[in-house]
């Protein structure tokens, strides 16, 4: 058996920053910290912090007044920030700067009286946060069919934005339908889909045709990980999205000669290493690491965290 190991894979700069942010907050303030939603959409990461004493919440009322609250990488709406201020919570913003960019674009388009079409998945934390910036101006679409149901006219001021973790081909299909129906629609100054999402999808698209099966390390609620699994199925015919090696359906690897392994942008490298070790031990697999694209992006920790004193 041969393993093709996709590069780039795993943590992106935004996820790295968010996790480093929570690690540093624990170092400076202790583990009695609340995080609004999951810090990133990954079970392994969330479980690690939970074991340290961090509490993940979906309602700000669960955080006692005056406590420390960290916003996840996916961002939050202005209403959440307002509620946090009313509860006198000390907030640390670990929102990915690329998500913040989409929020700022939404604010700008809304101030210029555009009707904003947001391409994304209903209920996703990032989409909820972005729509909260200008709820009266934003309409969510999830598919080309949704575009056909829009009631805007040819003279309406329209602009579109996208969730950062979408499938590139999925977004392009919707954008194409939007432009065909509304030639006047404005695009964001720079593409919203995250560089890391695009790079990981490109790696799978390029390498999966060489594999019998694709393994994506990541959680089921991770949008970018699910897109990798879908691409794996499209190009290799068989793909699995798993949190850890314990979830591997071993019968499905009988007769497989080549396996592509990658990881979503919120999946830690340790789960990749455990999976590789398993195949090397059980199937005497060899590993070929293939670099499709280099990444050198880094985001600094937020200022409010850097200014916190370290616990004595």
Name the residues annotated as catalytic: 126
Q: 23: Cβ–Cβ under 8 A, 6 or more apart, which residues?
A: none
The DSSP output letter for 300 is P
Q: Provide the 10 A C-beta neighbour count for residue 151.
A: 6
**How many other CB atoms are found less than 10 A from the CB of residue 52?**
13
b or e along 180-207 (b: 16 or more beta carbons within 10 Å of the residue's beta carbon)?
eebeebeebeeebbbbbbbbbbbbbbeb
* Rounded distance between C-alpha atoms, residue 284 and residue 236, angstroms: 22
Q: Up-side HSE of residue 183: CA atoms within 13 Å toward CB?
A: 0
Q: Cβ(261)–Cβ(210) under 8 Å? A: no
Residue 35 host element (H or E): strand 33-36
Residue pair 173/144 in contact by the 8 Å Cβ criterion: yes
Q: Is 199 strand, coil or helix?
A: helix
**How far are the Cα atoms of 2, 154, 156, 181 from residue 151, in angstroms, in the given order?**
52, 10, 10, 11
The helix (run of H) or strand (run of E) holding residue 259 is: strand 258-263
What is the H or E stretch that residue 63 is in?
none
């Amino acid at each position: 058996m041969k393993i093709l190991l996709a590069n780039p894979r795993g943590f992106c700069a935004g996820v790295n920053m968010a996790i480093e942010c929570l690690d540093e907050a624990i170092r400076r303030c202790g583990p009695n910290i609340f995080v609004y939603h999951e810090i990133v959409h990954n079970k392994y990461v969330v479980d690690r912090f939970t074991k340290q004493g961090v509490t993940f919440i979906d309602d700000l009322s669960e955080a006692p007044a005056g406590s420390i609250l960290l916003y996840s990488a996916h961002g939050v709406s202005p209403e959440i920030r307002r509620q946090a201020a009313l509860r006198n919570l000390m907030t640390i913003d670990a929102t990915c700067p690329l998500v913040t960019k989409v929020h700022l674009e939404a604010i700008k388009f809304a101030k210029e009286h555009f009707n904003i079409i947001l391409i994304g998945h209903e209920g996703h934390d990032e989409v909820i946060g972005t729509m909260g910036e200008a709820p009266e101006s934003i309409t969510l679409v999830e598919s080309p069919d949704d575009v056909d149901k829009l009631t805007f006219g040819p003279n309406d001021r329209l602009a579109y934005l996208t969730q950062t973790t979408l499938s590139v081909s999925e977004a392009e299909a919707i954008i194409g339908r939007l432009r065909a129906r509304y030639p006047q629609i404005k695009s964001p100054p720079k593409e919203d889909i995250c560089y890391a999402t695009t790079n990981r999808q490109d790696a799978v698209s390029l390498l999966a045709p060489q594999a019998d099966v694709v393994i994506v390390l990541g959680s089921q609620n991770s949008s970018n990980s699910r897109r990798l699994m879908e691409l794996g199925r499209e190009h290799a015919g068989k793909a699995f999205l798993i949190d850890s090696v314990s979830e591997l359906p071993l019968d499905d690897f009988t007769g497989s000669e080549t396996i592509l392994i990658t990881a979503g942008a919120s999946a830690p490298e340790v789960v990749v290493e455990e999976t590789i070790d398993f195949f090397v031990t059980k199937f005497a697999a060899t590993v070929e690491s293939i670099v499709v694209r280099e990444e050198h992006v880094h985001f600094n920790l937020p200022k409010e965290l850097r200014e916190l004193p370290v616990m004595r």
